[in-house]
């Protein structure tokens, strides 16, 4: 009986820490409001399929010297039957580009755990086109499926955020499984360096480690084109805006780890959801944590709005400019996050503004659209 009582007390305490409507600095959803923010709502009719890795159609190292060569072969084979690419355990210093194609691909690590199969490269947004060509040019030849992506990046004076990507998905239906994907760039300052970027619909990332610093994962291109992703059982690490983009993405059973050392603070989510889109990022049954130095500073922020294309707060137009949307629910938030100020200023300089009205419109773009429900932990 004593154990039962303690369990009930723990549940009651966890619930009591987040009570609707919350405050203007930390709005909390009611159970009625939370019913509108479920996995099914965000995925809008798509049910992610069970991922199989039992049989490989292409194996890196068996006729394909690089991952990109195996991807090229699978795409060139054509058809609409899913093709499976196995990457044996090891470390691969290369980029992987999957251009827009109707060939569904599953790319998976052949080791017993994600840490056994690592794709790692150092690419920063500040690289020149010449430096970029030196780093990855040997992977691409004219006529290759992804050559246009490569040649566009190589032509730039500075390659920018998108072209700093290590693993770039532009095709629908791609599945990424049992891999570590890392952008190892660690320049001082705030250089963007993307590990994984998805600009496509119905993308699945499962049982993976995504490692970087600024802009580790870009999920969705933004705008009103539907780009749904399901990211499950993953470990995602970074510092500044390390999960960003404009897609409709469900993160389920993931750990988000803020890394100290390069920056004195960290921001986990930086969505640039279109103002007409109600569903940006949903985080469920996950953990938000960080290096121990943040336990004192409390300078890990759950989110800020990426006001893409808006140069200053005075240029921001509610209902026209992007207004990031995030719901974090039934997750554990560690003490690296401040309980009273978990959100921060948008990239445009627009001050954070939460809506704590009991009669609020959850899609009122005059406010930030960051919400929580049923979370626990020292940072909740």
Catalytic residue IDs: 241
The answer to whether 266 and 239 have CB atoms below 8 angstroms apart is yes
Pair type for strands 196-198 and 332-333: unpaired
The answer to whether 258 and 268 have CB atoms below 8 angstroms apart is yes
Q: Which two tokens stand for residue 357?
A: 């009205």
Q: Which residue intervals of 91-174 are DSSP H helices?
A: 129-136, 147-154, 160-163
According to DSSP, residue 376 is labeled B
Angle among Cα 51, 52, 55 to the nearest 5 degrees reads: 155
C-alpha distance from residue 195 to each of 83, 167, 298 (Å)? 23, 6, 26
Q: How far apart are CA 372 and CA 29, in angstroms?
A: 6
DSSP 328-350: EES-EE-TTB-SS--B---TTSP
Q: How far apart are CA 279 and CA 202, in angstroms?
A: 15
3-state secondary structure 31-53: HHHHCCCCHHHHHCCCCCCCCCC
Name the β-bridge partners of 169.
Answer: 98, 198
**Cβ within 8 Å of residue 48, ≥6 positions away:** 202, 204, 230, 232
Given the structure tokens 């009122």, which residue do they identify? 364
Q: How far apart are CA 37 and CA 41, in angstroms?
A: 6
Q: How many CB atoms lie within 10 A of CB 290?
A: 24
């Amino acid at each position: 009986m004593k154990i039962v009582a303690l369990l009930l007390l723990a549940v009651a305490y966890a619930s009591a820490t987040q009570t609707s409507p919350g405050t203007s600095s930390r709005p909390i959803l009611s159970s009625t409001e939370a019913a509108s923010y479920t996995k099914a709502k965000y995925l809008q009719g798509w049910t992610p399929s069970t991922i199989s890795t039992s049989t490989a159609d292409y194996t890196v190292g068996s006729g394909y010297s690089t991952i990109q060569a195996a991807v090229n072969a699978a795409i060139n084979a054509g058809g609409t039957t899913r093709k499976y690419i196995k990457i044996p355990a090891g470390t691969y210093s290369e980029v992987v580009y999957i251009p827009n194609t109707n060939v569904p691909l599953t790319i998976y690590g052949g080791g017993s755990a994600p840490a056994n199969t690592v794709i790692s490269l150092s690419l920063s947004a500040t690289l020149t086109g010449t430096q970029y060509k030196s780093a990855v040019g040997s992977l691409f030849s004219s006529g290759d499926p992804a050559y246009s992506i490569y040649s566009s990046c190589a032509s730039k004076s500075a390659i920018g955020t998108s072209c700093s990507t290590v693993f770039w998905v532009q095709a629908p239906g791609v599945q990424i499984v049992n891999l570590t994907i890392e952008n190892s760039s660690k320049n001082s300052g705030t250089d963007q360096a993307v590990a994984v970027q998805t600009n496509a619909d119905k993308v699945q990332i499962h049982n993976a480690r995504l490692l970087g610093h600024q802009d580790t994962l870009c999920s969705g291109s933004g705008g009103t084109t539907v780009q749904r992703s399901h990211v499950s059982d993953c470990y995602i690490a970074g510092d500044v805006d390390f999960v960003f983009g404009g897609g409709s993405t469900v993160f389920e059973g993931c750990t988000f780890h803020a890394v100290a050392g390069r920056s004195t603070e960290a921001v986990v989510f930086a969505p640039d959801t279109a103002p007409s889109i109600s569903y940006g990022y949903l985080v469920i049954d996950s953990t938000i944590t960080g290096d121990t130095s943040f336990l004192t500073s409390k300078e890990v922020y759950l989110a800020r709005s990426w006001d893409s294309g808006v140069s200053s707060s005075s240029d921001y137009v509610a209902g026209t400019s992007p207004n990031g949307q995030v719901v974090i629910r039934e997750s554990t938030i560690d003490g690296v996050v401040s309980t009273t100020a978990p959100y921060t200023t948008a990239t445009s300089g627009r001050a954070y503004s939460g809506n704590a009205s009991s009669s609020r419109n959850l899609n009122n773009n005059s406010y930030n659209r960051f919400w929580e429900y049923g979370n626990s932990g020292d940072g909740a």
